[in-house]
Structure 1
Amino acid sequence: MLPDVQDEADVRGIELTDVGISNLRYPTEFRDGTTTQAGIGIFDVLVTLPSDRRGTHMSRMVQLVHDHLASIDPRELPLVMKRVAAKMDIDHAQVRIALPIATRVISPVSGLEAFQASDLGLDAAIAAGSFTLTTTVTTQVTSLCPCSKTISDYGAHNQRSDVAVAVSGTEDDAYPMDAFQIVELIRSSGSCPVYPLVKRPDERAITMTAYDHPAFVEDMARDLSLALRSRNVGHAVTIRNLESIHSHDAVASVAWAPSTSSVG
């Protein structure tokens, strides 16, 4: 029988916060009751390594991804994480999943259909039996500068904005908003959504919509936070304007938790 070196005792007395595998690319299907898509996910599986253990069993982590995450339903992640902790014989474990998702977008005038890709991140953790899940969606909108519109004789500078919304879940409600809902919420922020397929009539409508709805990066962060607070959903919002006339980006962020804050 081959020796199991990872199970050797360690006498240095140092607990390691995170040990495991990172950047594992693996086929998976994402399904959450609203969206079903297949693709390649990127997985991190991490555990805390007690001070008396020399190593962890990283092959088991790949096996866990194969056995339990070939199909991902965020609503089932509390059970999956309990299996991870049991398989690794540990009371603290974390699984991070990143994959793109695509939503159908209809051009505003021509009515043409195309797909808009967004980035989805799922960060599941279990510690001493307590489960948490952070669902993060990142996509883009158009923002038009209110200052530029006010001070200019005509026109106003605009740009694309990267918007990330992270929603907090627990075992009782692991997935309080699905990915599609978050995408739609983000697309409703800013000055105008972005569209993958644009004809000239669409471009005209998009340009005028943005001009009629100017928004600073601060405005977008606050509006998104208010919308999430109205749903009593814990969240973090991060926005980065890819400024078109400046040599820097403009950024804003806000976080809120229902247990420690109130609306307003």
Structure 2
Amino acid sequence: MNTNTLSNNNLPDVQSSADPRNIAIEYVGVRGVELPITVASESGIQPTVAQIGMYVALPAEHKGTHMSRFLGLLKEHNRALCRETLVELMQDMLEALESNAGCIDFDFPFFVKKHAPVSKLECLMNYRVHYRVEHKNGKTFVTQTVTVPVTSLCPCSKEISLYGAHNQRSHVTIAARLKGDLSLERQIRYAEESASCELWSRLKRVDEKYVTEKAYENPKFVEDLVRDVAVALNSDKNIEAYRVQAENFESIHNHSAYAQITNGLE
């Protein structure tokens, strides 16, 4: 076969052909794409690696979408992820795929440089971040989600015990639909400031004493965690809707304690 004479102009475009079943598809696209990206943060631009999904609505009369265009868009969009650039990527995707609705997901680890509370030992803490951008009914929504590990100490255990109290690591997950710019670090701090104590990846003995005693002096039920986070989110003008979840991986039970508050988020 002489490939020198081949081009898109003389090859059939099967995806653009008509489909006789007359059934629209809500979302079609690619998922499981793993690529290096950069993310906007308070300290500058942070490189990371993301799992990506990109999807568009497909009208009933079209047989298929053009899958390769999704990857081309990712190659062209090399700016750091933030609310503004995510909205731009969505607009370009809808134009390139000739669709009026779509969804984009980015899931990646995010790192924050921290210093231990007493020794000031420097460390990096890792958090999980998920961006979801969705366009439907003429509107684009950006939801920024962080999962934050913290310490929680049981108020009941402290109250009824002669000494000590059981505590455990907890995960606080905050999904915030943005109407303005909210840094990932600020969103993470909402979770950490609502816990019995935040976590660090490196601690000296003096730091361990601090963490233990601070948690003991600041007991929180799983219900307290989500309510305190909700109070903080309610006062943030950059958030129009949210869901906050807390899961305590109980140290005295073989199950977790869980709580959730949703405000305006589907």
**Paired residue for 2:190?**
185
Is 1:133 paired with 2:142? yes
Is 1:255 paired with 2:258? no
Residues 45 and 80 in structure 2, CA contact (< 8 A), matched pair in contact too: no
**Paired residue for 1:78?**
87
- The Cα offsets for residues 128-180 of structure 1, whole Å up to 9 and x where unpaired, read as 4311000001111000001111111110110000111111124xx3x3x2101
Is 1:195 paired with 2:200? yes
RMSD in angstroms over aligned alpha carbons? 1.5
Distance 2:128 2:253 in 1: 26
Displacement of 1:11 in angstroms is 1.1
Residue 62 of structure 1 aligns to a residue whose secondary structure is helix
Is 1:231 paired with 2:240? no
Distance 2:138 2:88 in 1: 11
Given the two structures, how large is their TM-score scaled by the length of structure 2? 0.91
Residues 35 and 180 in structure 1, CA contact (< 8 A), matched pair in contact too: no
Identity %: 34
What is the correspondence of 1:15-26 to structure 2 with a 5 Å cutoff? 15-26=24-35
Given the two structures, how large is their TM-score scaled by the length of structure 1? 0.92
- In structure 1, give the amino acid aligned to 2:247: R
Structure with bigger gyration radius:
2
Displacement of 1:61 in angstroms is 0.5
Displacement of 1:37 in angstroms is 0.7
Residue 234 of structure 2 aligns to a residue whose secondary structure is helix
Distance 1:242 1:226 in 2: 23
Q: 1:49 aligns with which of 58, 61, 79?
A: 58
Residues 41 and 185 in structure 2, CA contact (< 8 A), matched pair in contact too: no
Distance 2:252 2:95 in 1: 54
Distance 2:110 2:87 in 1: 22
Residues 105 and 133 in structure 2, CA contact (< 8 A), matched pair in contact too: yes
**Paired residue for 2:37?**
28
Is 1:245 paired with 2:226? no
Q: Which runs of 5+ in 1 are unaligned?
A: 259-264
Provide closer, same or farther for how the CA distance between residues 69 and 242 of structure 1 changes in structure 2, counting only shifts above 3 A: farther
